[in-house]
Structure 1
Amino acid sequence: MKPDDAVSYAQVAVLNGPAEPLHYRIPQLREPTARPGVRVLVPLGRREALGIVVDTTPTLPDPSLEKGLKDLAAVLDERPVLPEDLLRLCRWMATYYLHPLPAVLETALPPGLTAKPAIRYRLTDEGRRALLGSAAPSAGARALEEALAASGELGACELRDLPRGWKAHAHRLEEKGWIRKEFAWPSTQPTQKVIRIVQLVREPPPERLTRSRHLRGFVEVLLEAGGSCPLARIRARVPNVHYWVQKLTEEGFLRVQDREVLRESPLAQEMPPSAPASLTPEQDQVVRRVGEVLDSGGFHPLVLYGVTGSGKTEVYLALIERVLAAGRTALVLVPEIALSTQLEALFRSRFGSGLAVWHSGLSPGVRDDQWKKIVRGESPVVLGVRSAVFSPLPNLGLIVVDEEHDGSYKQEDRLRYHARDAAVMRARLVGVPVVLGSATPSLQSIHNWRLGRYELLRLEKRVEERPLPQVAVVDMRRHRGPFRVLSPELQEALRETLEQGYQAILFLNRRGFATFFLCRTCGYVLQCPHCAVSATYHQSSDRLQCHYCGWEAQIPGACPVCGKHALIPFGFGTERVEEEFKRSFPHVETVRIDRDAVSRPGQLVEHLNAFRSGKARVLIGTQMVAKGHDFPQVTLVGVINADTSLQVADFRSGETTVQLLLQVAGRAGRGDAPGRVLIQTYNPQHHAIQAAVHMDYLRFCEAELTSRQALQYPPFTRLARLLVTAPDPEAAKRVAGECAGTAEELKEAFAADDRPVALMGPAPAPIHKLKGRYRWNLYIKAWSHAHLQPFLEALMAWVAHRKLPRTVHVAVDRDPMSSL
């Protein structure tokens, strides 16, 4: 094709290619379908690569780019897989998080849409006639023509065996219209579920039905089903079904067709049916206010601060119904799969097949079908975890982020984005309201409310005027030996609760049986060989395990350092709590929910259903059970050790502790009976523990924000972490030092321009070795995004031009949630 035939140009983000988009010509025959958001195949070096069109222009930004410019090889979609607002969101995320745009786009798409398609060549009727007298120019060309003439089509396996020269000849044959290039997507085609439907066109004559009871039974099944029925259902009731289907189809009595079936999420909890609840005066006031915002249109962030049990979910449902009535769509984010299973049941009862669910616990086939429903506009409501922020909902009208404070919204590898912040930005780009709901809003959201950027709405009372639970502290400094796990006070409370016929939750945010094994002779602690952390002992498997990389090993018979047989376990996790409970209450059924006990989402749903139905009386778990769940029969919550999150070397540890304690405390007393909470701690006077005891979250926020402002920590400043990792400790240290040196030079230049920036480090990360890689942190702090963003861009530009060893990785973590 001549360059003059191209009428416009496409900017393409090439997946697994360069960090910046590349320009390609759009041939005239591709122009109608080459739009932003579609997938394309493009030439890249000696191969073809998959890419996403991010923009089209009639001219090039620089005419010199025309030289050597190549054409798009193929457009793979009739309509965009990423709508305009998602493309703009991905562009913002690439800039803000300093991550390559192609990698951001790949994160936004289901895996099935980012795999390179298999190519097939099919011989056309014109080609079949033309090849009879063709004289192929090379051995590869002859082999291609002979293979096509023999089979009519060639796939990847056959093409791989052809001699060199076939590719150029295939291109010539395609231009002549003698063959047609087709693309098969291996990861999406097999996941399509198709069922065979048998439809009754007209009934056989009565005398024929009278003669054959099998035929009569066959027709009766179809009539009972309304005239059409899946073949599998007929097969279960009628013998020799294939004989009757074939015979009656040939005679014109039946019609058989294959129909695609969209699979739904199978992970909803079993919830008792209930009619929509009447809104309380507080709920109604919130719904009215958000309704005013919806009617006025435009971007408007709102923080819904509602105590646990105040009915935030019912507010979400009422708002979504209002949005759907206006012909628009809604996106609801939750932090974890454990929470989505309960909301899925509630949302499904209200919205039926109009709900699409999105999270990694679904099988690839179900995820493909959920994506199809969203793209086709068949599901105006999407409920999902972090990655659901990329759902391609058309005509978006509302975004809800439930438990907006939760750290699970932050991805800690590759694209280190925060789904809450991405949701707020998407709402801004689309121009719609976003509701950030929580019983313990993040200090960032509280700060934005104080500055007037967000509007605060409150639900201060539980539904039906139920009281908040009574919270008491158990000072564990007074208990030793057998009471280290379950104090006498907690055991007595458990006994009373169970005798009254109610349920209890025991919470400890640490899994396993023993935290570590220590040698009493030399003090050595058994560690993971790939990470600088102690190995946790799991009694169920009688093995040591690393919770970071998955390494496992048997317990050595002797200390690997001194050789003495003096290894003993220390510390405890949920597995030990379960054992201690069963020792005191041997006849009480329990379920344990942590990553060890529920390795797949189906198990999680089974455990939650067992507890909700009353088959299990006590639920033992980590933070997976701490938030969002509504169990009306739970009247007691026991916090086994409230100090675990206080010991983390992070300026957010107090905030995280209070949020976790208040959230888990809120599981108690959500039914007719009042609730109580016992918090076991070695720091009873710590301000975070006291805030949980008095259940006064806003007072804690005021004190914590005052402290953060004095120390110049977020949300009063903007923070980023430069993470340098390498398998060689010296290489990691050296590159971290070089980055720090360049950062110091940039700091001086920015200071001269009245843009102050502070540097902290470089220093080894608290977990200095992780998955075989040594880690160094360099923190960069600035007063505003306007100062921090150009500083980071300049620093990463230096990194990009500095030829680092391939084994050394440098990543930016904007707004880090973890310092580990």
Structure 2
Amino acid sequence: MAQSLVGTGFGVKGIFTVASQRVQVVVDLPLFGAFTYLSHFDVIPGQRVAVPFGTRQLCGVVVTGIPPEGLPETQLKEVAQVFDALPPLPADFLAMVNFAAAYYHFPLGQTLFTALPTGLREARDIIPPDERPFALTAKGEAEAPPARQRARLALWQALGDGALTQAQARQVTPQAGKILADWLAEERIRRVSPERVPLELGPAPHLNDDQQAALSALTAQPSGFQSWLLHGITGSGKTEVYLQRIAPSLAAGQQVLVLVPEINLTPQLVERFIQRFPASRIAVQHSQLADGERLRNWLDAWQGRADIVIGTRLSVFTPMPRLGLIVVDEEHDGSFKQQDGLRYHARDLAIWRARQAGIPIILGSATPSLETVANVEAGRYRKLTLSQRAHGAARLPTVRLVDTRRAKLTEGLSDAVIKALASRLERGEMSLVFINRRGFAPVLACTDCGWTSGCPRCSTRLVLHLMERKLRCHHCGWEEAVPHACPECGAPDIKPLGEGTQRLESALGRLFPSARILRIDRDTTQRKQAWDEIYRQVHAGEVDMLVGTQMLAKGHDFGTLSLVTVLNADGGLYSADYRASERLFAQLTQVAGRAGRADAPGEVLVQTQWPDHPLYQALVAHDFDGFAASLLQERRLAAFPPAVYQALLRADATELAQANAFLTQVRAQVQPLAEEVLISGPAPALMVRLANRERAQLVLESPSRQALHRFLDQLPPLLDALARQHGRGLRWSLDVDPQEM
């Protein structure tokens, strides 16, 4: 619903002015609807503008909509400035933003500004670099510089051989910038549109029968919407199928969007793309890029200069005028779901975008999500299978379960695991010890009174990071020094309980003094070039053992890795989240798949106290299809997604009672509106306290997606009104298609 802003406007400036008109503008604030302004400029939807808002001047974007009548023009503020160095945001980008705002029931302004790079969120004009090359005019060709001006003569001669970009000109002479500026003013050179570089392909390996069959099916339908599931076992060469399917799209002058789940997967993937498409321009998008670099890459994609965009979840919004193909690698991965702010799922938005554009999309995974499996069963997606590993001698690793119920463990390692690690070290093969806990130990405890190191801001434990002598919360970031004695009873005998990556690294160093051990977790990969150095060490044969968390569970191809050992996997079996077993099976399958990708046969040892559990039995048999079928049947019987559609209404406050009171009142008022929607709760969130906020939630679910969204459409105004009654300290949020409870 449109709203009006009352008051006087700032001064306006611009080139083109028109008679006063009312326009609808959205800004980056948690307010639903657009705001009405007066504009003396000729503006169209997608135009970035500066507008007064209270005492501030904000960046806004003009959107479609009929401004409300009633308020006199004297009570409306005026658009202060139009930013016109860039063209208006494209219509298909705005359509996607509108869909995301409507589907996830999030303010349109915040949705739009979430989708923009940081530079375009600011109230300033962005002047894009002019990357058109320079060519000599007839006047320039006729007037050669004198021989004594060697730099100018060298540049003039180079231009005589063909057009040059500014970067190419600087390679001729460092003075190129000033010389070109002078010649441009003298009309001795001109800007020319760059010619499209013909597609150049690097060497490609021979495809096996499965890969060739998948590629033939994909290329048989080069245009039109179709959602494909490329279900390939780990190491089956899914990336090679992507590359060979991308080539004809690039040859046809189309752009390609490739989504990956993790930043750390990007460097090696980009390198493969550069080797395969050396003349194509690749734009990388992820949160570790500097704001300026991310903006340049975004503009390159929008202006059609980039042929391929490779990025993490926010890249799904990147405008691409020639988009012809979308690839979502590791489509099952939970990191495609944003967990705060605009809680969107990049995979689902990518599918919507492909449908709107009428282009194919490929979803790749060794462990597809149950939502994707259900869509294949329903005939909405077409499935392609890669059942053999791409490397000729490679086979799926043998998976063995190590029963630890009565086993004596040394620093969390069983005798079987220690012997297996020793044998690989003797043979010069690499091993991976996997534990999904960074730090030295999950908790510090007092052996006298039972005190444990709890986070003062969250309902979780502080993790011991021994090297830094810190206790750290991995949820809110709280840090404190390690106490010298128990804070409760004063006893000096406080000990770390359990294992983390730091403790394992230390233990392996004592057990295998000659081993070269490399720990990979979030603590060791914070530097920008960390992953480049890790790949260099591994591929140079400088590592005997890797110790790591889930960062190592997917996407990495370490050829000499022949042994994977998994510690403390059972924790995933105890979770109250119904998705926990799906996530655990995917994680174990992915990490197991790092072994045996080259000539050496792979082996996986999983330490467990539940060796007879169906999940582990399916893992031993490499039976994803059977395990997924049983999980789908359980979900249908229990009426859980994907059998039903779900949303969470979350509330957080300084006191749990306040959050519960708000949700109880909400439930009472909206129950009459819930014709086909089941409302459960309120109940505490799985992690009740996070960053000094107490959290509770209502679960909203329906067998009909349309019925659920009709119900959700009515909630925001009511929720805002009720939240105001409960004080400024209360916050609410809607999470549509939640991935975490």
* 1:305 matches 2:231: yes
Change in Cα spacing, 1:248 to 1:630, as seen in structure 2 (3 Å) is closer
Deviations 1:187-213 (A, max 9, x none): x89x9999x9xx9995765xx7xxxxx
Change in Cα spacing, 1:233 to 1:339, as seen in structure 2 (3 Å) is closer
| Cα distance between partner residues in 2 of 1:245 and 1:467 | 56
The answer to which structure has the higher helix fraction is 1
The share of aligned pairs that are identical, in percent, is: 39
| Cα distance between partner residues in 2 of 1:91 and 1:231 | 39
Match of 1:470 in 2: 398
Q: Which amino acid aligns with 1:18?
A: L
Change in Cα spacing, 1:535 to 1:11, as seen in structure 2 (3 Å) is same
* 1:41 matches 2:54: no
Q: What are the within-5 Å matches in structure 2 for residues 122-201 of structure 1?
A: none
Return the match for 1:382 from 287, 297, 309: 309
Match of 1:21 in 2: 34
Match of 1:87 in 2: 94
| Cα distance between partner residues in 1 of 2:478 and 2:274 | 39
Indicate the SS of the match to 1:371. Answer: helix
Indicate the SS of the match to 2:484. Answer: coil
Change in Cα spacing, 1:217 to 1:288, as seen in structure 2 (3 Å) is closer
| Cα distance between partner residues in 2 of 1:193 and 1:641 | 54
Q: Which amino acid aligns with 2:688?
A: H
* 1:72 matches 2:85: no
**1:13–1:51 CA contact under 8 A, matched in 2:** yes
**1:218–1:234 CA contact under 8 A, matched in 2:** no
Deviation at 1:472, TM superposition (A): 0.8
Change in Cα spacing, 1:22 to 1:461, as seen in structure 2 (3 Å) is same
**1:81–1:392 CA contact under 8 A, matched in 2:** no
* 1:657 matches 2:657: no
Match of 1:734 in 2: 661
**1:222–1:229 CA contact under 8 A, matched in 2:** no
Residue range with higher mean Cα deviation, 14-23 or 399-408: 14-23
**1:302–1:456 CA contact under 8 A, matched in 2:** yes
Deviation at 1:765, TM superposition (A): 1.8
* 1:570 matches 2:583: no
Change in Cα spacing, 1:450 to 1:603, as seen in structure 2 (3 Å) is same
Q: What are the within-5 Å matches in structure 2 for residues 310-325 of structure 1?
A: 310-325=236-251
Change in Cα spacing, 1:246 to 1:100, as seen in structure 2 (3 Å) is closer
Q: What are the within-5 Å matches in structure 2 for residues 506-585 of structure 1?
A: 506-585=433-512
* 1:431 matches 2:358: yes
Change in Cα spacing, 1:369 to 1:561, as seen in structure 2 (3 Å) is same
Match of 2:562 in 1: 635
Deviation at 1:741, TM superposition (A): 2.9
Change in Cα spacing, 1:14 to 1:496, as seen in structure 2 (3 Å) is same
Indicate the SS of the match to 2:674. Answer: helix
Indicate the SS of the match to 1:477. Answer: coil
| Cα distance between partner residues in 1 of 2:115 and 2:250 | 25
**1:249–1:255 CA contact under 8 A, matched in 2:** no
Residue range with higher mean Cα deviation, 71-80 or 692-701: 71-80
CA-atom RMSD, angstroms?
A: 3.7
| Cα distance between partner residues in 1 of 2:638 and 2:429 | 46
Deviation at 1:539, TM superposition (A): 1.4
Match of 1:502 in 2: 429
* 1:285 matches 2:213: yes
Deviation at 1:41, TM superposition (A): 1.9
Deviation at 1:798, TM superposition (A): 1.4
Deviation at 1:247, TM superposition (A): 12
**1:593–1:604 CA contact under 8 A, matched in 2:** no
Q: Which amino acid aligns with 1:283?
A: Q
**1:732–1:775 CA contact under 8 A, matched in 2:** yes
**2:145–2:152 CA contact under 8 A, matched in 1:** no
Change in Cα spacing, 1:378 to 1:192, as seen in structure 2 (3 Å) is closer
**2:391–2:598 CA contact under 8 A, matched in 1:** no
Change in Cα spacing, 1:246 to 1:679, as seen in structure 2 (3 Å) is closer
Match of 2:104 in 1: 97
| Cα distance between partner residues in 2 of 1:479 and 1:101 | 57
Deviation at 1:88, TM superposition (A): 1.2
Q: Which amino acid aligns with 1:574?
A: T
Change in Cα spacing, 1:318 to 1:646, as seen in structure 2 (3 Å) is same
**1:192–1:365 CA contact under 8 A, matched in 2:** no
Return the match for 2:712 from 749, 767, 792: 792
Return the match for 2:325 from 381, 390, 398: 398
Residue range with higher mean Cα deviation, 36-45 or 62-71: 62-71
| Cα distance between partner residues in 2 of 1:498 and 1:805 | 62
Match of 1:141 in 2: none
The alignment of Structure 1 onto Structure 2 pairs a total of residues equal to: 706
**1:765–1:777 CA contact under 8 A, matched in 2:** yes
Match of 1:147 in 2: none
Match of 1:750 in 2: 674
Deviations 1:273-328 (A, max 9, x none): 97212222222222222223323x2x221111111111111111112111122222
**2:32–2:107 CA contact under 8 A, matched in 1:** yes
Indicate the SS of the match to 1:349. Answer: helix
**1:503–1:618 CA contact under 8 A, matched in 2:** yes
Match of 1:441 in 2: 368
Match of 2:381 in 1: 454
Q: Which amino acid aligns with 2:111?
A: V
| Cα distance between partner residues in 2 of 1:433 and 1:245 | 43
| Cα distance between partner residues in 1 of 2:534 and 2:321 | 36
Match of 2:290 in 1: 363
Match of 2:702 in 1: 782
Deviation at 1:222, TM superposition (A): 11
* Bigger radius of gyration among the two: 1
**1:344–1:383 CA contact under 8 A, matched in 2:** yes
Return the match for 1:493 from 420, 444, 448: 420
Deviation at 1:797, TM superposition (A): 2.7
Q: What are the within-5 Å matches in structure 2 for residues 648-687 of structure 1?
A: 648-687=575-614
| Cα distance between partner residues in 2 of 1:801 and 1:44 | 22
Change in Cα spacing, 1:5 to 1:231, as seen in structure 2 (3 Å) is closer
Deviation at 1:526, TM superposition (A): 1.4
Deviations 1:304-358 (A, max 9, x none): 1111111111111112111122222111100001111211111122234511110
Deviation at 1:501, TM superposition (A): 2.3
Match of 1:817 in 2: 739
Deviations 1:697-742 (A, max 9, x none): 0000111111111111110011111111112343223223323333
Change in Cα spacing, 1:226 to 1:349, as seen in structure 2 (3 Å) is farther
Indicate the SS of the match to 2:529. Answer: helix
**2:58–2:122 CA contact under 8 A, matched in 1:** no
Match of 2:644 in 1: 717
Match of 2:688 in 1: 768
| Cα distance between partner residues in 2 of 1:431 and 1:633 | 42
Deviation at 1:469, TM superposition (A): 1.1
Q: Which amino acid aligns with 1:112?
A: G
**2:44–2:88 CA contact under 8 A, matched in 1:** no
Deviation at 1:441, TM superposition (A): 0.3
